[in-house]
Amino acid sequence: MMKITSEDLIKYVYNETSEQKSATIQAALETDWSLREMYQQLLNSKSELNEIKFSPRRENVNKILEYASKRHVPVTSH
């Protein structure tokens, strides 16, 4: 049987493996408890990452807006 790496599992979690590789991983997950545990941890991590919300600090937004207002170039009509 082919060795399944953590990179293989990550690709599998994100549906980036070929059909053949996916079938190999699925078969391995049915028999290898440690691989299944690693797979479950990756699924949990993916789920948690999807819940993270990123937003810039208000101070940075204000600096960008201030810079943009100083760099304003009037639009001319043709």
Q: Are 48 and 24 in contact (CB under 8 A)?
A: no
Does the pLDDT value for residue 76 go beyond 70?
no
Q: What is the structure's pLDDT at 4?
A: 92
Largest CA distance in the chain: 71
Segment 49-60, tens digit of pLDDT: 888 788 889 999
Say how many residues make up the chain: 78
Does the pLDDT value for residue 69 go beyond 60?
yes
Report residue 34 as tokens. Answer: 């440690």
Segment 7-50, tens digit of pLDDT: 999 999 999 999 999 999 999 999 999 999 999 999 999 998 88
Instruction: List the domain boundaries for the chain.
Output: 6-70
Q: What is the structure's pLDDT at 36?
A: 96
